[in-house]
Amino acid sequence: MIFQVDEGLNTLIDYRHKRKFSATDGEEGGKKRCHGADGKDVVLKVPAGTVIKEAVSGQVIADMSGENKRQVILKGGRGGNGNMHYATSTMQAPKYAQPGQEAKELEVVLELKVIADVGLVGYPNVGKSTLLSRVTNATPKIANYHFTTLSPNLGVVDLEGGRGFVIADIPGLIEGASEGVGLGHEFLRHIERTKVMIHLVDAASTEGRDPVEDVYKINAELAAYNAELEKRPQVIAANKVDAIFEEEGTPDPIQRLKDEFEPKGIPVFAISAVSGQGIRELLYYVRKLLDELPEKPVIYEQEYFPEEHMADNNLPYTVEISGEDEHVFLVEGPKIEKMLGYTNLDSEKGFRFFQNFLKDTGILQELENLGIQDGDTVKMYGLQFDYYK
């Protein structure tokens, strides 16, 4: 079972109706030295930014982001060994062969966390889609009702000197979003990769809401969903300044926002997404913030290694010296093969887990008991490495 990034995809909708995918079992080993065919690969294509999690624990198995374009999550059934694999000095033509092994089964959850530098958040109808369409090449649908945008809209902001950035319009938040109210969880996960957040508020209170309270409520939802989001740099864009009609004795809403949030280190920019007023200053300030932050994207490290959670920790394994070469040691066993099927040995964390696995199961000790020396070869299910203590 292989997950592969397809740059032409931007949603996981293909997996909404079909939820089970199966590779085939390995074929039985045959006579005349024949090795059974391994189970065929199933390649599942996903958009960049997809995080694959173990369904029960919610822990990350793989993050299909950055350079990780293709990853084996489960190996199909390995073909059985042919009869010659079991030949000995006293039985040159054994009459049995290894059966093909069944494919493994794992239930996973796929989450798409869009890859954008800046997240645009705010209540419905504050003008996010209008702002995005003005500052980028995106063409979002715009309508006057809650959750009009059912998936994040991505756009590229082009600034002079080629110093642009990617901005994501996160669909309108509502109170309780962090608890899953509305489509809260569906949308909040897209903010997790963003480095900077722009809070767009309706400074003119055209729908009767208080813009100061809106910022506090949005921040509360973000913090309730993921405490780390509260620490991300923020900017407040006070929109619809062209619709503000001040009455005598009524405080200026822009000044109220500045007095409330700028002492907390959150700058406020007065803008009009319709006329373009103040937008240039906002964008260049956001660019400056991004320049001060590390360029490394947010990548989720592998957390879930299924072998750590296996109920039976006493599955058998064999360690033996190869009959053909006394400097080659063969290690086999179902637990070992399962571990190799789940573990990404190309990652530092995965390889460290592999080393600890060999130590914790007693395999390293068994190899030493058999007299393994530095430079000798260890083979296990297609993996081969030199031993050094």
pLDDT digit string (tens) for the chain, length 389 residues: 789 999 888 778 778 777 777 766 555 545 554 555 555 678 899 988 899 988 878 888 888 888 889 988 776 555 544 444 434 443 344 444 434 445 567 788 888 887 789 999 888 888 888 898 888 876 655 444 444 445 677 888 888 876 788 898 877 566 666 665 555 556 677 788 889 999 999 999 888 889 999 999 989 888 888 888 888 999 999 999 988 877 766 788 999 999 999 999 999 999 999 999 999 999 999 999 999 988 777 788 888 765 555 444 455 678 888 888 888 999 888 777 777 776 777 777 777 888 888 888 888 888 999 999 888 998 887 788 888 87
Other residues' Cβ atoms within 10 Å of the Cβ of residue 192: 19
- Quickly count: other Cβ atoms within 10 Å of residue 368's Cβ: 12
Q: pTM for the whole thing?
A: 0.60
User: Which residue blocks in the chain are alpha helix, DSSP H?
Assistant: 128-135, 184-188, 211-225, 253-261, 279-292, 334-342, 348-360, 363-369
pLDDT of residue 172: 57
CB 187 within 8 A of CB 170: yes
- In this prediction, residue 83 carries a pLDDT of 42
Q: What is the DSSP letter of 170?
A: P
The string of DSSP letters for 16-54 reads: TT-----PPPPPPP-STTPPPPPPPP-EEEE-TTEEEEE
Q: Are 75 and 345 in contact (CB under 8 A)?
A: no
Straight-line distance from the first to the last Cα atom of the chain, in angstroms, rounded to the nearest whole number: 34
Q: Evaluate whether 86 touches 97 at the Cβ level (below 8 Å).
A: yes
The tokens of 165 are what? 């950035």
